[in-house]
Structure 1
Amino acid sequence: MKTYLQAFNLWEVVNTDTEPAPLRANPTVAQIRQHADERTKRHKAMSCIQNCVSDVIFTKIMACKTLKQAWDKLKEEFQGTERTKKQQLLNLRRYFENLKMRKEETVKQYADRIMAVVNSIRLLGEHFDEARIVEKVLSTLPERYEAKISSSEGSRDLASISLTELINTFYAQEQRRASRAEDHQESAFQVKAKEASSTNAHKGKKFWKNRPKPDAARSSELCRHCNRLGHPEERCWFRPDAICQHCKKKGHVERVCKNKSRPKQVHSQQKNEVVRVAEDNSDHEK
């Protein structure tokens, strides 16, 4: 509100709140215009104040006759009396001294919280030096910034550094630390993914290795043909109705035929014997 009134050259009217001097006898045109401007300034300033406030605040200043009364009413509404201002200042100073950086906060977020308190103190009319804010930030930073603070103290005087420069210095350090943490998390995630894939593959192999056979799952009784487990009777290799395709005998299948395991020499010897007998018969006939 103060800045708005200063832009229209009306702030002095609010402070003085005095009626302009009356015109002298036989005034000039310039004096008449100047006198008219001085008289209308009060009404312009009152119009600015009434138009800039909300309807609730307007109802509190609408009964004020002079500009000074309206401005004092606004100050009392938003700043309180002198006693209230002192109590507010005391609470804000105590809150400022107890401020500490939270674990999950960045330096910029912490500085914003500090500046919100400092601006409230400055609005109540108390001077607050920026060097005091810098000292507060440096004294309450966590231990992870200790190395950076020590290097800054060795390179330059921290009493002459601005708050913006200080925050940007620590903000760059935070960005580097965050990028390293992201790289570490990515590498750890890749290692865990490899371990999980190898574990799943091992579990899959173990599962298929130890998986029970379908016949063993279906048949848990002894086969009456071979007295063994793991297969039904109709699929037994030694059932009586089975016919071997190798030796043409009943009681077993070709897969377990004992004659099948004999060398091929027996078959060739039998063939040679048949040929020899045939030759002897032909000689006899001759």
Structure 2
Amino acid sequence: MSRADLSLLGNEVTTTFRRWRTLALLGVLAAVPVLVGIAVRIETADGGRAGHGGGGPAFISQVTNNGLFLVFTSLAVTLPFFLPMAIGVVAGDAVAGEAGPGTLRYLLVAPAGRTRLLLVKFATTVLFCGAATLVVALSALAVGAVLFPLGEVTLISGTTVSFGEGLLRALAIAGVVALSLVGLAALGLFVSTLTDSGIAAMATTVGLLITVQILDQFPQVGAVRAYLFPHYWLSFADLLRQPVYWDEVLRNMGLQGLYAAVFGSAAWARFTSRDVTA
């Protein structure tokens, strides 16, 4: 990567993460583990057990025994909606948000080059996937350490591992969750190339997200469900087994790669043939 490419990427990352909208999204994501942790603490204040009735998100019954499980619980809570919604907003606004006010034409006159500019915007969105996931994980770890004890981690399979290994698994899970959002990032970027309205692109991306997640709940759609990008999102739980079950995790990674290739190519075809300089 040339110095000009790094400079363009640095400028795009700085611009994206300095927006008040981006900071607000990260703030909301950081607040979710706080709310979950306080809710569990209040529920178990009288000696009860969180999720004892079988309700609540995955791993919540283990939070009172080990604060590290608040990381897994918070990721399970935010992954169906909060995290992907944030990604949808950033990805949907990536191109359309600059096309509307005319900023995009000046970027291309610079010249940045359409392919290079699109790659930079996709890379920035993927970096936001990682940053958003890390914000949730770090917030949950801090809140878990304050409100609950920390120690050895009992995995889903019943095996007990050290706290250090538990942290490494939490880091691996955060990485898997971040990569799980890459397909949505590519879809949002493609939608962003179709319009000059950032709000329309963001709303369309989030609308598609909700629609696909609803479809994924219906067994009647049969084999199609396995090709919906959120279908394997919660497969990260398999990293908490000993040995690790890799099948669905790898299917998830392959599916996200497929979406990134298909919608990334569609975004490139649209963006490179679109008249944005008129």
* TM-score category of the 2 structures, normalised to the smaller one: under 0.3
User: Which protein has greater RCO, CA pairs closer than 8 Å, 6+ apart?
Assistant: 2
Provide TM-score, normalisation by structure 2. 0.21
| TM-score under structure 1 length normalisation | 0.21
Give the number of the structure whose alpha-carbon radius of gyration is greater. 1
In terms of fraction of residues, the more helix-rich structure is 2
